[in-house]
C-alpha cells in the first residue's frame, strides 16, 4: 500500500491548520490485528493505529517511521466497518460538526459484498461522509486499461463497482466527485490549509443625513492574513524562553550615559525642533474623540472621481443588511442599485468603535447573482498623499517609439495574455493570484513540519509545486519566446548599473560633461575673485573649523607648496578620525572629497593616492570600518590614470580598490568612466 505520503500530508495539514478536528488512523492489511470488533476470524489484519485525537507531531512521526506496509490482506469493507465503529464510540458525548472517513486503497483485495446494504444504511444513519482515494481514476471503468496500461484485476473491478455503489447511494448526484486518485491527493494535500477565521460581524447603521438610516452588518472580506503564531526568542543552549529576559533601560544623553529610572521619565512628543512634554492624562483629555461607531454618508460622487491607486488601509469591508431584516435589505438594495445605475459611490465617514480613528472611504455598489452589498475601501487623507512630479515621458520627442517598436510591444502583449477564450467562448484565466495560497506561509509550514520531525536536518528545498505556481505559466512562457526576441532587437538595452546616490561628489565638483569647459573656466576665475575678496579673509593654514574650505583656499592662493597643504589637511583628518564618532566622520568626508577634487585639478595624484592607501590599510586596526563604508558610498576611490596623468592606477584598479574586501561593486562603477572631460580641462590650464 502506498498511502503513506498522503496520510502524512493530511495529518500535517491538520496540525498547522490548528483547528480542533480529531483524527484517527486505521490500517488494514497490517500484520497485526487490533480492533474492537475482531473476533475469531472476523475483522482480521485490521489495526486501529490511533484513536480519535487532535493530530500532533507524534502521529506524523509514527506515520513516517513506524507504519510499514504489511504483507497481509484484509477486506476493505471490514475496515470501513471498523472505522465506523471507531467514530461512533469515540464521538459519544462529544460535539462534532462532521464525521468523515477517508479510504485509501487500491481495492486489490477480495471483499464480500453481502452486507453492503447494511453498511450503507448505517453510514447514512450516522451521517458519516466518505471519501475514496484510489490509484486509478474511477471513470476509467473496467474496459479501458487505466493506470500505466495495467488492466484492473478482477478484485479491483469488483471493488470499483462496490465503491461506485456506496458513493452513489450516499449522494446520488455528486457521489463520484468524492473519489480521488492518489496523484490528486498529493497535490490537494501538500497545500497547507489556511487557518480558518470566522468572519466577525460589525453591526452598524448607515445614515444619510439625520432622518434616513439603514441597519447594516459589515464583514472583512479581504485582508492580509498572517499566521496565528509568531517566533519567540529562546536561549540557544537550553531552548527555554524563560532563560532569556529582555530589559529596557533609560539613560541620559550625556557622556556617562547615566541610567535613570523609568519612573523618572515622562512622556513627550517632538514638534519640529521643540520637544513638548505631554502626559498621557493630558493627551487623553485633549485628543480627538469619536462618540461611537459610524457609517455616515458624507455625499455621493462619480465612481470615476475615485482613483483605484489611492485606496489606502489594509482591508476591504463588505456591507450587507442584517440577515433577518428584510426591510433593511430592501432599503440597502435601493441604495446599491441606485448607485450602480448612476455609476456613483457613497463617500462615508467610518468609525469602527468608540474612540476609534475616523476614516473617510468609498462604498461601491456590488451586485452579484446571489447577493448585493456595498464594498467599502478607505481613501487617503490629505496628510497621506505625496505629490511627486516625474519627468514627462509622453510629450518628449526623444521617447517617441517607432511603428516597429509599437508592434513589437503589441505582439508581446498578445503572446502573454493570461486570459484566453477557449473554443466555446468561455474565458479562462491561466494565472489567478487569488487562487494561489500565500507562498510565504506554505514555505514556513513546510519548513516547520520538516524541522519538527527532523530536528537536526537542514531545511528542505522549496516544494516544486510552489515554485511552479509562482512562475509564468508554461504555455505563456513558450508562446512569448519569439516576440521577446523581436523586442530585444527593437529595443537594444544596455544593462543599467544600479545607480545609488552617487551624485554627491560628482555634482559637488561639477566635473561632469554637462557644461562646456570654457564656461567652467570662467566660473572658476570669478570664484577666485569672490572668495579671496570678501569672505575668506586671510587663511594661512588648514584650521579645524572648516578644513575643506581652508584647504581649497590655500591651494588657490598658492602661497604654500601643494605637498605641505596636503599634509596639513591629512593631519586634520587624522585628528578628526581619532574621535571615532559619526559626527567627526561626517566632517571628514568633505575634506577627502575636496582633497580628491583639488588633486585632480592640480594634476598631482600622489599625495591623495598614498594617503588613501595608507588609510585603507589602517582601517581594520583602528576600527574605522563605518567611516570606510561612507567613503565607499561616496565612491571616493583612488585617482586613476584617466583623471591625472601621473597616477599609476587604471580606472579598473581604482574601482577594485574600494570594493576589495567589499562586495558592492556596482556602487563605484558609474563614476569611474564618466571623467572624460577632465583631461580636456587640464589641457586648457
Q: What does the per-residue mask of binding to other proteins show for 435-474, with x meaning CB under 8 A? A: xxxxxxx-xx--xx--xx--x---x--x-------xxxx-
Q: Which is nearer to other proteins, 129 or 355 (CB)?
A: 355
Neighbouring residues of 488: CB distance < 8 A, sequence distance ≥ 6: none
Q: Cβ 523 to other proteins, closest distance in Å? A: 6
Q: Is 219 in the site for other proteins (CB under 8 A)?
A: yes
Q: Cβ 471 to other proteins, closest distance in Å? A: 8
Q: Which residues pair with 275 in a beta bridge?
A: 270
For the CA atoms of the chain, what is the radius of gyration?
A: 38
Q: Cβ 643 to other proteins, closest distance in Å? A: 18
Q: Which is nearer to other proteins, 36 or 238 (CB)?
A: 238
Near other proteins by CB under 8 A: residue from 120, 162, 366, 682: 366
Q: Which residues pair with 301 in a beta bridge?
A: 345
Q: Give residues 600-659 in contact with other proteins (rule: CB under 8 A).
A: 633
Q: Cβ 350 to other proteins, closest distance in Å? A: 9
Q: Is 223 in the site for other proteins (CB under 8 A)?
A: yes
The one segment of 26-34, 97-105, 374-382, 620-628 that binds other proteins by CB under 8 A: 374-382
Spatial distance between the Cα atoms of 201 and 199, rounded to a whole number of angstroms: 6
Q: What does the per-residue mask of binding to other proteins show for 496-535, with x meaning CB under 8 A? A: x-xxxx-xx--xxxx------------x--xx--x---xx
Return the closest-CA partner of residue 541 out of 528, 559, 525, 514.
559
Q: Give residues 385-444 in contact with other proteins (rule: CB under 8 A).
A: 385-396, 398-399, 401, 405-406, 409-410, 412-413, 416-419, 429-431, 433-441, 443-444
Q: Cβ 127 to other proteins, closest distance in Å? A: 20
Spatial distance between the Cα atoms of 281 and 36, rounded to a whole number of angstroms: 68
Q: Which is nearer to other proteins, 164 or 349 (CB)?
A: 349
The one segment of 35-43, 276-284, 562-570, 602-610 that binds other proteins by CB under 8 A: 276-284
Near other proteins by CB under 8 A: residue from 281, 493, 518, 685: 493
Buried b (16+ CB within 10 A) or exposed e, 212-231: eebbbbbeeeeeeeebeeee
Q: Cβ 291 to other proteins, closest distance in Å? A: 11
Q: Which three cell numbers stand for residue 173?
A: 448526484
Q: Give residues 228-247 in contact with other proteins (rule: CB under 8 A).
A: 228-236, 239, 241-247
Neighbouring residues of 259: CB distance < 8 A, sequence distance ≥ 6: 249, 250, 251
Q: Cβ 542 to other proteins, closest distance in Å? A: 16
Length of the chain: 685
- DSSP tag of 42: B
Q: Give residues 86-105 in contact with other proteins (rule: CB under 8 A).
A: none
Near other proteins by CB under 8 A: residue from 213, 560, 632, 672: 213
Q: Give residues 323-362 in contact with other proteins (rule: CB under 8 A).
A: 323, 325-331, 333-335, 337-339, 341-342, 344, 347, 349, 357-360
Helix (H, G, I), strand (E, B) or coil at 685: coil
Q: Cβ 162 to other proteins, closest distance in Å? A: 34
Q: Which three cell numbers stand for residue 684?
A: 586648457
Neighbouring residues of 456: CB distance < 8 A, sequence distance ≥ 6: none
Near other proteins by CB under 8 A: residue from 5, 57, 162, 541: 57
- DSSP tag of 316: E
Return the closest-CA partner of residue 671 out of 657, 655, 660, 648.
655
Neighbouring residues of 106: CB distance < 8 A, sequence distance ≥ 6: 1, 2, 134, 135, 156
Q: Which is nearer to other proteins, 330 or 684 (CB)?
A: 330
Total residues interacting with other proteins, rule: CB under 8 A? 218
Near other proteins by CB under 8 A: residue from 4, 5, 18, 677: 18
Q: Is 199 in the site for other proteins (CB under 8 A)?
A: yes
Return the closest-CA partner of residue 577 out of 544, 550, 555, 613.
544
Helix (H, G, I), strand (E, B) or coil at 55: coil
Q: Which is nearer to other proteins, 1 or 452 (CB)?
A: 452
Residue 44 and residue 33 in contact, taking contact as beta carbons nearer than 8 Å = yes
Strands 212-223 and 202-208: antiparallel
Near other proteins by CB under 8 A: residue from 34, 49, 215, 293: 215
What are the two backbone dihedrals, phi and then psi, of residue 420, each rounded to the nearest 5 degrees? -130, 155
Q: Is 127 in the site for other proteins (CB under 8 A)?
A: no
Near other proteins by CB under 8 A: residue from 71, 143, 583, 617: 583
The one segment of 69-77, 115-123, 315-323, 562-570 that binds other proteins by CB under 8 A: 315-323
Q: Which is nearer to other proteins, 176 or 297 (CB)?
A: 297
Near other proteins by CB under 8 A: residue from 2, 118, 126, 251: 251
Spatial distance between the Cα atoms of 183 and 372, rounded to a whole number of angstroms: 39
Neighbouring residues of 591: CB distance < 8 A, sequence distance ≥ 6: 547, 548, 551, 569, 572, 573, 576
Residue 38 and residue 46 in contact, taking contact as beta carbons nearer than 8 Å = yes
Near other proteins by CB under 8 A: residue from 173, 383, 422, 683: 383
Q: Which is nearer to other proteins, 139 or 515 (CB)?
A: 515
Residue with cell 472621481: 305
Near other proteins by CB under 8 A: residue from 322, 619, 672, 682: 322
Q: Is 482 in the site for other proteins (CB under 8 A)?
A: no
Return the closest-CA partner of residue 676 out of 648, 657, 647, 651.
651
The one segment of 127-135, 171-179, 482-490, 600-608 that binds other proteins by CB under 8 A: 482-490
Q: Cβ 402 to other proteins, closest distance in Å? A: 9
Near other proteins by CB under 8 A: residue from 34, 318, 556, 616: 318
Residue 298 and residue 360 in contact, taking contact as beta carbons nearer than 8 Å = yes
Residue 681 and residue 517 in contact, taking contact as beta carbons nearer than 8 Å = yes
Residue with cell 509545486: 465
Q: Which three cell numbers stand for residue 416?
A: 502573454
- DSSP tag of 223: E
The one segment of 27-35, 219-227, 607-615, 643-651 that binds other proteins by CB under 8 A: 219-227
Return the closest-CA partner of residue 7 out of 30, 24, 22, 29.
24
Q: Give residues 160-189 in contact with other proteins (rule: CB under 8 A).
A: none
Q: Which three cell numbers stand for residue 353?
A: 468603535
Amino acid at each position: 500500500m502506498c498511502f503513506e505520503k498522503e496520510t502524512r500530508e493530511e495529518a500535517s495539514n491538520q496540525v498547522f491548520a490548528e483547528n480542533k478536528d480529531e483524527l484517527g488512523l486505521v490500517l488494514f492489511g497490517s500484520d497485526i490485528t487490533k480492533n474492537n470488533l475482531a473476533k475469531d476470524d472476523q475483522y482480521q489484519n485490521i489495526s486501529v493505529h490511533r484513536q480519535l485525537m487532535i493530530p500532533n507531531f507524534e502521529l506524523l512521526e509514527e506515520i513516517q517511521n513506524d507504519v510499514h506496509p504489511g504483507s497481509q490482506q484484509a477486506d476493505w469493507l471490514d475496515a470501513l466497518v471498523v472505522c465506523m465503529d471507531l467514530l461512533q464510540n469515540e464521538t459519544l458525548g462529544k460535539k462534532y460538526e462532521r464525521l468523515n472517513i477517508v479510504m485509501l486503497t487500491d481495492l486489490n483485495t477480495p471483499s464480500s459484498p453481502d452486507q453492503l446494504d447494511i453498511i450503507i444504511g448505517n453510514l447514512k444513519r450516522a451521517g458519516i461522509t466518505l471519501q475514496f482515494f484510489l490509484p486509478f481514476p474511477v471513470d476509467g471503468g473496467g474496459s479501458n486499461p487505466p493506470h500505466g496500461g495495467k488492466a484492473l484485476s478482477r478484485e479491483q473491478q469488483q471493488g470499483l463497482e462496490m465503491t461506485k455503489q456506496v458513493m452513489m447511494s450516499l449522494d446520488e448526484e455528486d457521489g463520484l466527485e468524492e473519489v480521488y486518485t492518489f496523484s490528486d491527493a498529493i497535490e490537494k494535500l501538500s497545500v497547507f490549509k489556511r487557518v480558518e477565521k470566522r468572519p466577525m460581524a460589525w453591526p452598524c447603521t448607515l445614515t444619510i443625513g439625520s432622518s434616513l438610516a439603514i441597519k447594516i452588518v459589515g464583514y472583512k472580506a479581504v485582508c492580509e492574513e498572517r499566521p496565528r503564531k509568531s517566533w519567540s526568542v529562546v536561549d540557544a543552549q537550553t531552548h527555554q524562553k524563560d532563560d532569556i529576559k529582555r530589559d529596557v533601560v533609560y539613560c541620559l544623553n550625556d557622556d556617562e550615559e547615566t541610567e535613570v529610572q523609568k519612573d523618572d521619565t515622562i512622556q513627550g512628543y517632538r514638534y519640529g525642533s521643540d520637544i513638548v512634554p505631554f502626559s498621557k492624562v493630558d493627551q487623553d483629555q485633549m485628543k480627538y474623540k469619536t462618540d461611537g461607531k459610524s457609517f455616515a454618508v458624507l455625499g455621493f460622487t462619480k465612481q470615476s472621481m475615485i482613483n483605484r491607486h489611492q485606496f489606502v488601509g489594509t482591508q476591504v469591508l463588505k456591507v450587507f443588511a442584517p440577515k433577518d431584516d428584510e426591510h433593511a435589505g430592501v432599503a440597502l438594495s435601493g441604495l446599491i442599485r441606485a448607485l450602480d445605475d448612476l455609476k456613483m459611490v457613497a463617500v462615508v465617514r467610518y468609525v469602527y468603535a468608540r474612540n476609534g480613528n475616523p476614516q473617510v472611504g468609498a462604498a461601491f455598489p456590488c451586485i452579484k447573482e446571489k447577493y448585493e452589498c456595498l464594498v467599502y475601501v478607505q481613501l487617503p487623507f490629505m496628510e497621506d498623499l505625496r505629490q511627486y512630479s516625474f519627468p514627462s515621458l509622453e510629450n518628449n520627442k526623444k521617447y517617441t517609439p517607432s511603428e516597429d517598436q509599437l508592434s513589437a510591444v503589441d505582439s508581446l502583449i498578445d503572446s502573454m495574455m493570461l486570459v484566453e477564450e477557449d473554443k466555446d467562448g468561455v474565458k479562462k484565466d491561466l494565472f489567478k493570484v487569488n487562487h494561489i495560497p500565500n507562498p510565504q506561509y506554505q514555505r514556513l509550514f513546510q519548513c516547520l513540519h520538516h524541522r519538527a520531525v527532523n530536528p537536526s536536518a537542514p531545511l528542505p528545498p522549496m516544494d516544486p509545486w510552489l515554485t511552479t505556481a509562482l512562475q509564468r505559466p508554461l504555455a505563456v512562457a513558450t508562446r512569448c519566446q519569439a516576440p521577446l526576441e523581436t523586442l530585444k532587437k527593437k529595443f537594444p538595452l544596455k544593462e543599467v548599473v544600479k545607480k545609488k546616490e552617487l551624485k554627491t561628489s560628482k555634482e559637488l565638483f561639477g566635473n561632469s560633461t554637462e557644461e562646456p569647459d570654457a564656461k567652467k573656466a570662467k566660473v572658476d576665475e570669478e570664484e577666485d575673485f569672490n572668495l579671496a575678496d570678501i569672505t575668506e579673509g586671510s587663511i594661512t593654514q588648514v584650521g579645524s573649523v572648516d578644513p575643506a574650505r581652508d584647504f581649497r583656499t590655500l591651494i588657490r592662493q598658492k602661497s604654500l607648496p601643494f605637498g605641505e597643504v596636503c599634509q596639513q589637511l591629512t593631519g586634520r583628518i587624522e585628528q578628526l578620525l581619532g574621535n571615532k564618532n559619526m559626527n567627526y566622520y561626517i566632517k571628514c568626508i568633505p575634506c577627502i572629497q575636496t582633497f580628491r577634487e583639488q588633486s585632480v585639478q592640480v594634476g598631482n595624484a600622489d599625495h591623495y593616492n598614498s594617503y588613501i592607501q595608507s588609510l585603507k590599510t589602517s582601517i581594520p586596526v583602528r576600527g574605522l570600518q563605518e567611516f570606510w563604508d561612507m567613503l565607499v558610498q561616496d565612491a571616493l576611490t583612488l585617482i586613476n590614470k584617466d583623471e591625472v596623468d601621473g597616477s599609476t592606477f587604471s580606472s579598473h584598479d581604482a574601482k577594485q580598490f574600494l570594493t576589495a574586501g567589499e562586495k558592492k561593486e556596482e556602487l563605484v562603477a558609474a563614476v569611474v568612466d564618466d571623467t572624460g572631460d577632465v583631461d580636456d580641462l587640464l589641457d586648457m590650464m
